[in-house]
A and B are shown apart, each in its own frame.
Chain A
């Protein structure tokens, strides 16, 4: 108790030095915590948007579909209604895919047709964010098609003009249809903008002679972290078996899951870099403390303080200094986190849109995500630095010889 009392009071013998050192550590902590919140927010948002659009939090498909992507590997679209009714689910939408030819009056090229249900899809993601010209698909199947801006240019197609769909239907017949271009979109990804064409899933089912079938049902819930629960709930009504399978997004895309698991790695890198510098400042303060008080420490040794207690005293001072820093660092980090949650961080491209990646356009503002983990890890790390930065000064203090130390002025 007395050691603690001495250490605490020693801390305030040089108020300015203590406050400067503690402030430096607190600011470093606040920055690490808030940077982590921003990064988590960006990461979560990007992952959530990507997962929602491409994987769903869970997905239902034919067991052969992921590997072969054969037209015939479908699941009944009637499953969508039952899935949508589940309490764990906030949205479900069936999708259909087909490769074929897209032609205008003068030109033709390969296309990847994606059939979506615009009404159901809105609950999952807002594809209309990528719209450049014209309108988005209507909720009813009316032979509309939305094509990439690059494809429109390539095929010399304008809004309102007709695109010829040419492909193969499931019954072996040639699938052909005249579709009206209602809008163009741009994702920034050449391949998607040149070949991607969205249409109503009802139209595609009809053209491919696959009425009532879809290749994939994307299911989303409140958050991607709940994927296991969502998948389990869907499995409750969709029988896993020869013709259908239910997978959480982590199973559908293990590489993405692995990438998500690595998000904390950057937190540790940040911690290491920032607190290597802060640690030197603490080391300097601790060394100054020992040098300045050599005589006093010599007296403590003379009147019987053991080396271990001497070391404990120096380490305790460093830990107390850090405790002060931690209090302010957590407060600062919390405040910055609040700002990030409340006001977000603007991230716009020159044309005022959110940036696009992998065909997905992200919102124009990122918001922070607060997790206890960065607070806990940063605090532990700071205390580790405090102890590490006190070891050398503590050893110096413990090795002081009373007679020589007391001669110091």
Chain B
């Protein structure tokens, strides 16, 4: 069964009296273990689609199912629970909690999931090691480089054991080498731990690693290539 099933999805934004269609009838399935890139020019609807899949925004029409659950009609608290337990997020601007250390940022989702202290510690330490931040647990975001911060964001996204990680331009704020290292790390997580990733990006480095590239133009899927 597909982790994500999107059918005839539409989303239109209002700018004053103007209606701007961002998604115009998207159909997409994401299978477990995929490393998929949504690409396209600015305004093509990549981030909007990612936000719909991640239950961060409400579509105007169509349907989205995550692990078979229809998002439309779900209560806000259930959507929050879904995001907490089944979806990880990596944002372009890292968006870490500045007052928490790397360890605490990664631990945050587990804590909200109600995991025990021992389980949290074990998972966080493993995750930080996996993303290459061993020994930096006690540093706050301001004491970390951009690449390290984004690794903490990845650790936070995967620590809770999500079915799916959504990454919106995760390398956009990083230099080329750091961005490459980050993608390598995420690819490793995909291959060795089976984490499903969906990216919204136009970074060639990410596309280089992608096994599937979905090209969006003007809110529609123009190409869907599996490598």
Contact = CB atoms under 8 A, between A and B. Distances in A.
B85 A300 contact: no
A365 interface: no
Contacts of A305: 80, 84, 112
Nearest to A399: B76
B63 to A, nearest CB: 19
A299 B83 CA distance: 11
A2 B108 CA distance: 7
A5 B97 contact: no
Given A5-B100, A402-B56, A304 B83 contact: yes
B85 A296 contact: no
Nearest to A306: B80
B108 A307 contact: no
B175 to A, nearest CB: 22
A52 interface: no
Given A5-B104, A302-B83, A406-B91, A307 B56 contact: no
Contacts, number: 64
Contacts of A2: 100, 104, 107-108, 111-112
B84 A406 contact: no
Contacts of A307: 76-77, 80
Interface stretch (A6-14, A180-188, A250-258): A6-14
B57 A9 contact: no
Interface in B79-96: 80-85, 89, 91, 95
A304 to B, nearest CB: 3
A403 B11 CA distance: 14
A303 B97 CA distance: 11
A402 B51 CA distance: 10
A299 B80 contact: no
Kindly state the interface size class of chain A when it binds its partner.
Answer: 20 to 34
A247 interface: no
A57 interface: no
A148 B118 CA distance: 86
A2 B85 CA distance: 18
Interface string A234-278: 000000000000000000000000000000000000000000000
A406 B95 contact: yes
A403 B56 CA distance: 6
Contacts of B108: 2, 303
Contacts of B156: 303
A304 B85 contact: yes
Given A303-B89, A309-B112, A9 B99 contact: yes
Contacts of A403: 51, 56-57
Interface string A286-330: 000000000110011111111101000000000000000000000
Interface SS majority for chain A: helix
A6 B97 contact: yes
A303 B99 contact: no
B9 interface: no
A301 B104 contact: no
Nearest to A398: B76
A303 B111 CA distance: 12
Interface in B59-88: 76-77, 80-85
B55 to A, nearest CB: 9
Contact of B95 (A1, A6, A9, A299): A299
Nearest to B81: A304
B87 to A, nearest CB: 8
B95 A296 contact: yes
Nearest to B76: A307
A306 B104 CA distance: 18
Contacts of B77: 306-307
B97 A296 contact: yes
Nearest to A300: B97
Interface in A363-409: 401-403, 406
A10 B99 contact: yes
A351 to B, nearest CB: 63
B98 interface: yes
A9 B95 CA distance: 17
Contact of A302 (B85, B89, B98, B107): B89
A12 to B, nearest CB: 8
B125 interface: no
Nearest to A2: B111
B109 interface: yes
A3 to B, nearest CB: 9
Given A2-B108, A295-B95, A302 B56 contact: yes
Contacts of A295: 95
Contacts of A9: 99-100
Nearest first, the 3 closest Cβ-Cβ pairs linking A and B are A304-B84, A9-B99, A299-B95
12 contacts: A2-B108, A5-B104, A9-B100, A10-B99, A13-B98, A301-B80, A302-B83, A304-B81, A304-B84, A304-B85, A305-B112, A306-B80
Given A6-B99, A299-B95, A305-B112, 18 more contacts: A2-B104, A2-B108, A5-B100, A5-B104, A9-B100, A300-B97, A302-B56, A303-B83, A304-B83, A304-B109, A304-B112, A306-B80, A307-B76, A309-B112, A401-B57, A402-B56, A403-B56, A403-B57
